[in-house]
Homo-oligomer: A and B are copies of this chain.
Amino acid sequence: MAPRSANKTAAPSDKVGMICRALRRAIIEQALAPGAKLPEDSLGERFGVSRTIARHALGQLAAEGLVELRRNRIAVVATPSWQEARDAFDIRIELERLVVRQLAGKLTKAQVAELNAHVDAEDRARDGSDAVSIRLATEFHILLANMTNSPILVRYVSEVAYRCCLTLSLYSRPHSSECAINEHRAIIAALVKGDEAKVMSLMHSHLDSVASRALVAPAPQRGRDLLDILAPYAEESEGAGRVVKLSKVVRAR
């Protein structure tokens, strides 16, 4: 039962695939924050390929919604609106309910072990950086999806999970992810027990709580602009109480 059933659809040599994976990871670990610029040249240079390849990878990522491509403009890491975040979570809930419904009571011992191992890893990472915790939590869900052996489902769950991850980094506060870990354990238990209804409602409430923990309010209304983020710092700037050159900052973004 090889867990390697990934994407059949990705044959563009895999230089492209490699860059995609690298960027995806950088994005969800917030090494690349939303809005970060991704010039083709730099990417190509960084990964030792030509612009052509970098460009192709960006296209791929754009199709997944992680990157925003505007004509004649530098590609940037996507900055989903609050509404889009909400939508993504709604879709995610349905898709993942489907996942666990298919999986309930059908997991092999090896698969259960793999899941447990992953959650253990999540546990161990609690002391480390938030970024890694978030990534692992996301990957738990993808691991689950993988076990359905449905490439389409895997692709959609992955995509939407990454997207949600991205929005979490935008709208959520410091993060108390311990509970998520317990919820993951509970889901595994219910899956093993094979109680379809139970595991579906567990997954539902799990994602719901993640979403609401993160998306409590459309706080930074339109989210993206630095204005809100910089507000607290404005007072401390060397000048008078006046807020510094906002127009400049806005354009800088």
Contacts and interface: CB of A to CB of B under 8 A. Distances in A.
Contacts of A69: 9-12
Interface string A72-85: 00000000000110
A186 B213 CA distance: 39
Interface in A87-129: 87-88, 90-91, 94-95, 97-98
Contacts of A84: 150-152
A152 B89 CA distance: 10
A152 B62 CA distance: 12
Interface string A1-22: 0000000111111000000000
> Looking at chain A, what size class is its interface with the partner chain?
35 or more
A156 to B, nearest CB: 6
Contact of A70 (B11, B65, B97): B11
Nearest to A85: B152
Given A63-B60, A94-B94, A95-B94, A87 B153 contact: yes
A173 to B, nearest CB: 24
Given A94-B94, A98-B90, A98-B91, A59 B12 contact: yes
A163 interface: yes
10 contacts: A9-B62, A11-B69, A59-B59, A63-B63, A63-B64, A83-B150, A84-B150, A87-B151, A87-B153, A88-B152
In the complex, the 6 A-B pairs of residues with the closest C-beta atoms, listed nearest first: A87-B150, A11-B69, A94-B94, A11-B71, A63-B63, A11-B70
Interface of A: 8-13, 52, 56, 59-60, 62-65, 68-71, 83-84, 87-88, 90-91, 94-95, 97-98, 150-153, 155-156, 160, 163
Given A12-B71, A91-B153, A152-B163, 4 more contacts: A9-B62, A9-B63, A9-B65, A56-B56
